[in-house]
Structure 1
Amino acid sequence: MEKQRLNTFRMVMLAMMVAIGVVISPILRIEGMCPTAHLINIVCSVLMGPWYSLLCATMIGVIRMLFMGIPPLALTGAVFGAFLSGVFYRVSGGKIICAVLGEIFGTGIIGSIVSYPVMAFIMGRDGLNAFFYTPMFVSATIMGGAAAYVFLKALSRAGLLAKFQRSLGAKVYDKTVRKSAEERA
Structure 2
Amino acid sequence: MPSHSAKLKKLMLLAMMTSLDVVLSPLFRIEGMAPMSSVINVIAAVLMGPLYATLMALACGVLRMMLLGIPPLALTGAVFGAFFAGIGYRWGKKSEYAMLGEFIGTGIIGSLLSYPVMVWFTGSAQELYWFVYTPRFVGAAIIGSSAARVVLLKLQEIPLFISMQHLFFGFAFESHPHSLPISRSKIK
TM-score with structure 1 length normalisation? 0.90
Aligned to 1:43, the other structure's residue is in SS state: helix
User: In structure 2, what is the Cα distance between the partners aligned to 1:2 and 1:112?
Assistant: 37
- 1:18-39 deviations in whole A, cap 9, x for unaligned? 1111111111111111111111
CA distance in 1, matches of 2:135, 2:76: 15
Stretches of structure 1 that go unaligned for 5 or more consecutive residues are none
- Aligned positions of 1:8-47 closer than 5 A: 8-47=8-47
Q: Give 1:45-56 correspondences, 5 Å limit.
A: 45-56=45-56
Q: Which position in structure 2 is the counterpart of 1:146?
A: 146
Secondary structure at 1:71's aligned position in 2?
A: coil
Q: Is the 8 A contact 1:54 1:79 kept in 2?
A: yes
Deviation (angstroms), 1:77: 1.1
The Cα shift of 1:105 comes to 0.6
Q: Using structure 2 for the length normalisation, give the TM-score.
A: 0.89
Structure 1 position 160, deviation (Å): 5.0
Match of 1:96 in 2: 95
Give, in whole Å, the separation in 1 of the partners of 2:3 and 2:72: 36
Q: Determine if contact 1:57/1:75 at 8 Å carries over to the other structure.
A: yes
CA contact (8 A) 1:33 1:140 kept: yes
One-letter amino acid of the structure 2 residue matched with residue 178 of structure 1: I
Distance 2:62 2:2 in 1: 32
Identity of aligned residues (%): 45
Shift of 1:62: 0.3
Deviations 1:130-171 (A, max 9, x none): 111000000001111011101111222455542331244543
1:130 aligns with 2:134: no
160, 178, 183: which is aligned to 2:182? Answer: 178
Structure 2: gaps (5+ residues): none
SS at match of 2:156: helix
Matching residue of 1:117:
116
**For the residues of structure 1 that align with 2:36 and 2:163, how far apart are their CA atoms?**
24
Q: Distance in 2 between matches of 1:29 and 1:95?
A: 27
Q: Distance in 1 between matches of 2:139 and 2:68?
A: 23
Tell me if the contact between 1:155 and 1:161 (Cα under 8 Å) persists in the aligned partners: yes
Per-residue CA distance 1:72-127 (angstroms, 9 max, x = gap): 000011111100000010111x1110001100111000000000011123322431
Give the secondary structure class of the aligned counterpart of 1:49. helix
